[in-house]
Amino acid sequence: MNGNGVKAKHLPVENCPEPPSVDNSILFVEEAEGPVWLTYLCLEGYHLEGSTSLFCNASKDWDAPPPSCRLGHCPEPVLSNGEFIPLGPMHINDIVTFQCKDQYILKGSNWSQCLEDHTWKPPLPICKSRHCGPPGNLVHGYFEGNDFSLGSNITFYCEKKYRLVGTQHQQCVDGEWSSTLPRCERLPQTELEKALFAFQESKDFCQAIKTFMQRLSKSGLIMEQVKYSLQVKKAELERKRLLQH
């Protein structure tokens, strides 16, 4: 008997020092040509911390410090930005409760139990900040608002010729935006826009004119309508140019 431990076999002192005493353990000694090995196994209800095996090296000393057998089977819980009760070694069937610091919210169960297989169930929770991060970027769109703290609001917009699909106004609620990220969907082209696009893409001028007139005829547009649309577009471009200067 070695403290509360059990020694399986006496080790000759002329070869190596006496094996270190480890409470609540069983010690197995293996002698072979070369080093002498010590193996520690913890008694039921305890778990080992440190090296399971030690050997006597050439300097006739043990190669590592002795392990320890701690009461309980589960590792101590870890909860960043929070705390748990009780503290200390956890016995089988022990239950701990969790809570987060201010400005953090608990994600997961607020309690967990130590099982016989050395695990916690339900899984250990995390403490997540109540503030939100940037919502992400929209393809062909953008958002307004640079405050992502709890309770803040942002608004999404799309570029010209695109429409917003989803929730435009969103709020930061307990670390999450109140809705999923919207998207920008391209608006359908008008017949005039299709005709103009076909005209611009054509490399044969005569064929381009012919195709353009065919599209206008097919769509029911008349030249006066086309002229008016072009004048509106020209006015919009001129206004943008003046604003830039």
| Domain ranges, ordered by start, for the chain | 6-71, 82-129, 141-186, 191-244
The 10s digit of each residue's pLDDT in 135-162 is 988 999 999 999 999 999 999 999 988 9
Residue 32 predicted with pLDDT over 70: no
Residue with tokens 């006597």: 56
Top-confidence residue, 204 or 107: 107
The 10s digit of each residue's pLDDT in 197-221 is 665 655 665 665 666 666 666 665 5
Q: State whether residue 63 is helix, strand or coil.
A: coil
Tokens at residue 198, please?
């076909």
pTM of the model: 0.47
Q: Report whether CATH 3.30.70.890 matches the domain 6-71.
A: no
Q: Which residues of 2-17 are buried (b: 16+ CB within 10 A; e: fewer)?
A: eeebebeeebeeeebe
Write the DSSP string, 4-27: TBEESS---TTTSPPPPP-TTEEE
Residue 167 predicted with pLDDT over 90: yes
**Topology agreement, domain 6-71 and domain 82-129:** yes
The 10s digit of each residue's pLDDT in 109-142 is 999 998 877 789 999 999 999 999 999 889 999 9
From the list 75, 70, 73, 61, the residue with the least C-alpha distance to 20 is 61
Instruction: Judge whether 17 and 61 are in contact, CB under 8 Å.
Output: yes
Overall fold of domain 82-129:
Complement Module; domain 1 (2.10.70)
Model pLDDT, residue 52: 86
**Superfamily of chain region 141-186:** Complement Module, domain 1 (2.10.70.10)
Top-confidence residue, 214 or 164: 164
| CB-side neighbour CA atoms (13 Å) of 149 | 2
Instruction: Judge whether 49 and 67 are in contact, CB under 8 Å.
Output: yes
